[in-house]
């Protein structure tokens, strides 16, 4: 039997996000939780996050349990091959999260409250 994995989503894959439909067959484990040590930025139609040493920097998102197949599909969606994002394992929280890749976005704006869904509302 396939082992499911947990992933933290904070942007377009969250409920009310433009790509939430990709998560509809997954199990929502926790919704709207805040995790520390990350900063969020808007790139226009989507957010990016990067790790932060400051515990006051935090983001809001949802944790899903997903299949290995969906994880591979999300890697494609997040364009990790072209370094738009990179997927890391967050040891503190025991889930995968996509963070900013090494290809810099053209323009970014910090989202101070770390909540993409509120930001786009």
| pTM (predicted TM-score) | 0.92
Beta strands, E only, the chain: 5-9, 27-36, 38-42, 47-51, 58-66, 85-90, 95-100, 109-110
Q: Say what the pLDDT of residue 107 is.
A: 78
Between 3.10.490.10, 3.20.20.10, 3.40.50.740, 2.120.10.30, what CATH number should domain 5-120 receive? 3.10.490.10
Phi, psi of 119 (to 5 degrees): -60, -40
DSSP 8-state code for residue 81? G
Domain boundaries, the chain: 5-120
Q: Say what the pLDDT of residue 74 is.
A: 96
Secondary structure of residue 23 in the 3-state scheme: helix
Walk along the chain (121 residues) and give the pLDDT tens digit of each residue. Answer: 456 799 999 999 998 899 999 999 899 999 999 999 999 999 989 999 999 999 999 999 999 999 999 999 999 999 999 888 999 999 999 999 999 998 767 778 999 999 999 999 8
């Amino acid at each position: 039997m396939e082992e499911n994995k947990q992933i933290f989503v904070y942007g377009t894959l969250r409920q009310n996000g433009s790509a939430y439909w990709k998560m509809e067959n997954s199990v929502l484990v926790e919704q709207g939780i805040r995790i520390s040590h990350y900063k969020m930025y808007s790139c226009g139609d989507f957010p990016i996050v990067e790790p932060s040493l400051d515990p006051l920097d935090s983001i809001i998102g949802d944790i899903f349990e997903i299949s290995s197949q969906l994880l591979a599909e999300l890697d494609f969606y997040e364009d990790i091959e072209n370094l738009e994002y990179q997927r890391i394992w967050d040891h503190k929280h025991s889930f995968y999260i996509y963070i900013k890749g090494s290809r810099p976005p053209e323009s970014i704006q910090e989202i101070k409250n770390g909540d993409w869904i509120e930001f786009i509302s």
